Amino acid sequence: MLRILVFTYAAVWTTVRAPHLLDTIDLASRRFAGIGPLWWLSEPVSALVIVAAVALTPIACGAAALGWQYRWSSLLGLVGFLFLTTYRNSWGQIFHTENLVALHICVLALFPAACAYWSLEKAGTPTDPAVGEELAGSIVKALAVLTVGTYFLAGVAKLRISGLGWIDGDVLRHQIAFDNARKELLGDPTAPFGALMLRNSWTLAPAAVAAIVVELAAPLALAGRRAAWLWCGLAVVFHFVILAVMAIVFPYHLIGIALAPLLPVERLGTTVAAWHCRFRKRSKRLRPTG
């Protein structure tokens, strides 16, 4: 189920963002500076490479979500997604909303996440069920650790850069004001509650404390199912507040896929299968005979 959710998201994201990704073809080459996996690039790649990556990546991610030719489709999806997101970030503004998606894809692509259940291929299924369950459990745990790790590092970064000054809300005030002012000047949509929060400055310190608590408390979600549900709920609220006051969208987190490794998402598949079974039985009863 995690394979289906993550790779489906990657396929949809690369499809929806295709026009924006293709726009990089027309950007001035002087603005390009390869970062991350593309640190070795000193100039933009050809338009043909961009078009090919934009066309093939969602197809590969879709195939990986279905578990078709998973060994190759997952690796191609991983390379394509890493390339497109890193290439987009190499033009002067570094986005971090897709970092966790890329990390999750890395783990799923490097392990047999399509060898047993809800997959178009059955090859490679471990002969010993216990071995398969142990491997699957390790993959899920790795995905969960990556999720909470990104939040924890974000909290550490706030304290490392701002120190305890973050707690009084002044840093948050400047972030909200600057981000909304920049969007206003560029003609982008601004946050609906950003100005309201700035006018009611007494809310800034509690909001700053709440943000740092949610991020630093992320590892506690690994303690058990109840702790995971509680922290995931707080994390979703956290992202909705960011959206409301800064108009910054983390779709992977808002719709819950980023948090899925911490939750019993396998029940989704069981529920869907049960609904399908009931639908088929009902259809047979209603089918005319004779």
Return the residue matching tokens 């799923």.
108
pLDDT tens for 192-201 read 899 999 999 9
Predicted pLDDT of residue 117: 64
pLDDT at 271 over 70: no
- Whole-structure pTM value: 0.88
Query: Mind spelling out the 3-state secondary structure of 13-79?
Result: HHHHCHHHHHHHHHCCHHHCCCCHHHCCCCCCCCHHHHHHHHHHHHHHHHHHHHCCCHHHHHHHHHH
Grouping H, G, I as helix, E, B as strand and the rest as coil, residue 112 is coil
Least confidently predicted of 74-78, 89-93, 140-144, 283-287: 283-287
Domain ranges of the chain: 1-125, 131-290
Measured from the Cβ of residue 184, the count of other Cβ atoms closer than 10 Å reads 13
- d(C-alpha 162, C-alpha 158), whole Å: 6
pLDDT at 97 over 70: yes
Average pLDDT over the chain, rounded to whole? Answer: 88
pLDDT band of residue 274 (cuts 50, 70, 90) is low
Residues 6+ apart with CB under 8 A from 226: none
Least confidently predicted of 58-67, 112-121, 178-187: 112-121
